[in-house]
Amino acid sequence: MTTRAASWQPLSPGERSVAIEVLVHGPLSRTDIARRLDLSAGSLTRLTKPLIESGLLVEVPDGGGPAEVRQGRPSQPLDVVAESRTFLGFKVTEDMVYGVVTTLRSEIVARLDRPLTTHDPAEVADLLAGMTGELTARFPTLTGIGIGVGGLVRDRAVVGESAFLHWNDVPLAELVEERTGLPVVVENDVAAFVEAETWFGAGRGLDRFVVLTIGAGVGYGLVLGGRRVPYAEEDRGFGRHWILNPNGPLTPTGERGSAVSLLTIPSIRYQVQAATGQDLSYEEILAGAAAGEPMSARVIGEAARALGVLVAQIANFVLPQKILLAGEGVGLMDVAEAMVEDTLRAHRHPLAAPLDVETKVSDFHDWARGAAVLAIQVLVLGVAEV
Amino acid sequence: MTTRAASWQPLSPGERSVAIEVLVHGPLSRTDIARRLDLSAGSLTRLTKPLIESGLLVEVPDGGGPAEVRQGRPSQPLDVVAESRTFLGFKVTEDMVYGVVTTLRSEIVARLDRPLTTHDPAEVADLLAGMTGELTARFPTLTGIGIGVGGLVRDRAVVGESAFLHWNDVPLAELVEERTGLPVVVENDVAAFVEAETWFGAGRGLDRFVVLTIGAGVGYGLVLGGRRVPYAEEDRGFGRHWILNPNGPLTPTGERGSAVSLLTIPSIRYQVQAATGQDLSYEEILAGAAAGEPMSARVIGEAARALGVLVAQIANFVLPQKILLAGEGVGLMDVAEAMVEDTLRAHRHPLAAPLDVETKVSDFHDWARGAAVLAIQVLVLGVAEV
DNA sequence: TTGATTAGTTCTAGAGCGAAAATATCTTGC
DNA sequence: GCAAGATATTTTCGCTCTAGAACTAATCAA
């Protein structure tokens, strides 16, 4: 563990759960919190007092809205001072570093991107420290840094293996801490994104929740009991062996008819190019499919059916309360949502609970935001590693 | 809740977890329990004392085995007196009632079966009470009854819907309690089987565990965080919409190429009969496949590949530590295990954690045992409904 | 203004825990 | 046989967290 001590004094388990509840579920009165956490009113007074004294929580005037008129003493909502601290999240790709500054509640307040021209660990750390420096000037409340990297990350500090950076056991957290003096948390990018959605996004408050990302590759995140489940093949080409249609297309990466071959942006572009000779962008292909261009429509239709099968399989086995489809490749849903849903319905039991599927087109800044959330979890609240 | 008060005095949460730990994981010393439950040695003295006084636990002489010679004061294993109480489990099918008597540790000590000639609720309850009467004579320590029924069960007491019995909202627990004077727990048969395997069988001590049963139908049980996840389509034809091979066979029940069409015993027999005209038993078909009889080999081969696909999908999404294949239809594995495993391997990432698949041919008495385990959970330990 | 209603605080007793010291019972080495 | 060391369990103590009751606070309704 390279990351340094928490920025706030260590919280007791009770205090931590109260802090998380307020952070994640917005302003809440003590009574609300007591009900949610199944605690007595007296305990809430006790637990909130130190949190208010430390400045993490404040009493806020009743949320402006059309205050529903009720009898009795009005409740006194508590909230985190979202702007009191800011966090920096980085997403490192092969040729770019994307950075965001977020509040305590993970709202993005600034963005900063830089090309990445070298993969030398020290120089990458230099670049990240430089970007941090620029932002410190504008955001003096910067409290911690989260870094998301595609690849295997150990102890939230060391990049054990990253194919595109050609790194092995690079202590990235340490390198950046040395240069910035700020505590740093490093995590696999998909894992960070999933954590962010679990805490602040689509998976808020859910017990069983699945994140499926489609973009350059396929990413999968499983949240059970409110906690992400780590797995061995994480970010090492998940979905490559994942046959959705045995008669599907053969592409340079992924087995025939696999999720990678059918759904990822490179594979879709490859299929269209192989058939038509034209090197079209993903957006052009989607537009073509929408306009009825036969080849694009065929490829996109096949992808939509595959996605329906995939979501159905997840729904049938994991029984999640919600599935989030994210990434750059879910633009598919705008064009072919009906086809996805038809396929999904055909592959599920009619009596099965209706499935909540949320689609969210996300870009690299959303991935960077995920990394910032990791920093919030670890540095502010002292949430331990899974 | 119709089931009556616990047979032992109510246990505190701490006591309950100790009792379950010993019940499930055999004789354990106080130190072992402390380590497993992450408690101090002092707490163990405190928690075990009332359990020993109440007679639920006893100190046992060190397990006869080749006592490993170690320094220090020898540990004093604690165990439940498995034989101190017995439980009755029933599995009700369309034309038979299967009964077993088990110890506190769910070891079967007696069996009793009776044909079921009527589906009238009162007469079924009469039959169950009669069987109970016969067994009470031989087992005076009978403490509670568990009943497993295919169908939807509410509140562990009422059969909300059972297609084969043509029941709707039958308060079965109450009917049998009236006639026997013993506390009764009713549960869906698959759910009960899954609970039994989670506590005393293949899923012992696991966090993520899946049970797949193959027989007249397909059953699925998901255990997360050591608890079974209930789901809406439970026992209403799970697997019927579950397409494993789009080019697979069409059978009277189940969509084309579904788990039901490919894997269940009736569908396999149907396929062989449709192709050859011969009405062979499942065992004859398996023997034929093993002997190289082409038609049987083709059907069984297709089933084996489908099973491999199914297990792979579960493994890829649920990330379980173990999958149990059970039911009368897993004889398949004796003949075609290699084919199942080849298919499984082809559908998983090479870096994925190796999957623990256990096969257990089970009969109706195993289902009845599951119901008895429900009675143990609810009546002895006061384990609440999910 | 009074009473009803809901929110939050204070106080207290008790449950449950870990830490440390004490005790028990063994093996090992002499 | 005996002391030293190892391990298991019990005892004791103080601490933390909790619920519950009694109380105070702030609002609405009549």
- Predicted confidence pLDDT, tens digits, chain B (386 residues): 333 333 456 788 899 999 999 999 989 999 999 999 999 999 999 999 999 988 889 998 875 544 566 788 888 999 998 888 899 999 999 999 999 999 999 999 999 999 999 999 999 999 999 999 999 999 999 999 999 999 899 999 999 989 889 999 999 999 999 999 999 999 999 999 999 999 999 999 899 999 999 998 899 999 998 889 988 767 666 778 889 998 889 898 888 999 999 999 999 999 999 999 999 999 999 999 999 999 999 999 999 999 999 999 999 999 999 999 999 999 999 999 999 999 999 999 888 888 999 999 999 999 999 999 999 998 877 777 65
pLDDT given at position A246: 86
Residue B54 · residue B9 · CB < 8 Å: yes
List CB contacts (< 8 A) between B240 and chain A. Answer: 349
Q: Which nucleotide is nearest to B17 (CA to C1')?
A: C16
Nearest to A333 by CA among A366, A315, A363, A357: A357
Q: Which residue of B has its CA nearest to A233?
A: B352
Backbone angles phi, psi at A353, to 5 degrees: -60, 135
Q: Which of residues 246-305 of A touch strand C (CB under 7 A)?
A: none
Question: Which of the nucleotides in strand C have any atom less than 7 Å away from a protein CB atom?
Answer: 3-12, 15-21, 24-28
Residue A42, CB, strand C, below 7 Å: yes
Residues in B lying within 8 Å of A, measured between beta carbons? 208, 210, 220, 222, 224-225, 229, 231-233, 236-238, 240-243, 245-247, 255, 309, 313-314, 316-319, 346-353
Question: How many Cβ contacts (< 8 angstroms) between chains A and B?
Answer: 86
List CB contacts (< 8 A) between B245 and chain A. Answer: 246
List CB contacts (< 8 A) between A247 and chain B. Answer: 246
Nearest to B241 by CA among B211, B262, B212, B268: B262
Q: Which nucleotide is nearest to A18 (CA to C1')?
A: D17
Distance from the Cα of A219 to chain B's closest Cα (Å) equals 12
Superfamily of domain B203-360: ATPase, nucleotide binding domain (3.30.420.40)
pLDDT given at position B269: 96
Residue A261 · residue A254 · CB < 8 Å: yes
Residue B37, CB, strand C, below 7 Å: no
Distance from the Cα of B201 to chain A's closest Cα (Å) equals 21
CB contact (8 A) between residue A314 and residue B317: yes
pLDDT given at position B4: 31
A384 by Cβ neighbours in 10 Å (0-12 / 13-18 / 19+) ranks as exposed
CB contact (8 A) between residue B237 and residue A349: yes
Nearest to B251 by CA among B323, B302, B187, B290: B302
pLDDT given at position B87: 96
List CB contacts (< 8 A) between A245 and chain B. Answer: 246
Mean pLDDT estimate for chain A? 89
pLDDT given at position B23: 94
CB contact (8 A) between residue B225 and residue A220: no
Backbone angles phi, psi at B338, to 5 degrees: -60, -40
pLDDT given at position A69: 63
CB contact (8 A) between residue A317 and residue B319: no
pLDDT given at position A65: 46
pLDDT given at position A66: 46
User: Rounded CA gap, A325 and B139, in Å?
Assistant: 57
CA dihedral B202, B204, B208, B211 (to 10 degrees): 30
Q: Please name the member of B231, B318, B351 whose beta carbon is closest to the beta carbon of A236.
A: B351
User: Rounded CA gap, B194 and B203, in Å?
Assistant: 9
Here the tokens at position B160 are 């909300």
Residue with tokens 């006639």: B179
User: Rounded CA gap, A204 and B48, in Å?
Assistant: 40
Distance from the Cα of B302 to chain A's closest Cα (Å) equals 14
List CB contacts (< 8 A) between A236 and chain B. Answer: 349, 351
Nearest to A97 by CA among A169, A168, A165, A9: A165
Q: Which of residues 57-116 of A touch strand C (CB under 7 A)?
A: 70-77
A328 by Cβ neighbours in 10 Å (0-12 / 13-18 / 19+) ranks as middle
In the CATH scheme, what architecture does the domain A13-80 have?
A: Orthogonal Bundle (1.10)
Domain A205-361 class, CATH top level: alpha beta
> How many CB atoms lie under 10 A from the CB of residue A12?
10
CA dihedral B107, B112, B117, B121 (to 10 degrees): -50
Tell me the pTM: 0.90
pLDDT by residue, tens only, chain A of 386 residues: 322 333 455 788 888 899 999 999 978 999 999 999 989 888 999 999 988 888 888 988 765 444 566 777 888 889 998 888 899 999 999 999 999 999 999 999 999 999 999 999 999 999 999 999 999 999 999 999 999 999 889 889 999 988 889 999 999 999 999 999 999 999 999 999 999 999 999 999 899 999 999 998 899 999 998 889 887 666 666 778 889 998 888 898 888 999 999 999 999 999 999 999 999 999 999 999 999 999 999 999 999 999 999 999 999 999 999 999 999 999 999 999 999 999 999 999 888 888 999 999 998 999 999 999 999 988 877 776 65
- pLDDT for A291-337, tens place per residue? 999 999 999 999 999 999 999 999 999 999 999 999 999 999 999 99
Here the tokens at position A39 are 């605690």
Domains A84-195+366-380 and A205-361 share a fold: yes
Residue B42, CB, strand D, below 7 Å: yes
pLDDT given at position A73: 81
Residue A66, CB, strand D, below 7 Å: no
User: Rounded CA gap, B275 and B252, in Å?
Assistant: 14
Per residue, the 3-state secondary structure of chain B, as one string, reads CCCCCCCCCCCCHHHHHHHHHHHHHCCECHHHHHHHHCCCHHHHHHHHHHHHHCCCEEECCCCCCCCCCCCCCCCCCEEECHHHCEEEEEEECCCEEEEEEEECCCCEEEEEEEECCCCCHHHHHHHHHHHHHHHHHHCCCEEEEEEEECCEEECCCEEEEECCCCEEEECHHHHHHHHHCCCEEEEEHHHHHHHHHHHHCCCCCCCEEEEEEECCCEEEEEEECCEECCCCCCCCCCCCCCECCCCCCCCCCCCCCEHHHHHCHHHHHHHHHHHHCCCCCHHHHHHHHHHCCHHHHHHHHHHHHHHHHHHHHHHHHHCCCEEEEEEHHHHHHHHHHHHHHHHHHHCCCCCCCCCEEEEEECCHHHHHHHHHHHHHHHHHCCCCCC
Here the tokens at position B104 are 């506190």
Please state the domain extents for chain A: 13-80, 84-195+366-380, 205-361
List CB contacts (< 8 A) between B347 and chain A. Answer: 241-243
Q: Which nucleotide is nearest to A37 (CA to C1')?
A: D18
User: Rounded CA gap, A150 and A120, in Å?
Assistant: 16
- Which residue's CA lies closest to nucleotide C6 at its C1' atom? A72
CATH of domain A84-195+366-380: 3.30.420.40
CB contact (8 A) between residue A241 and residue B318: no
pLDDT given at position A342: 95
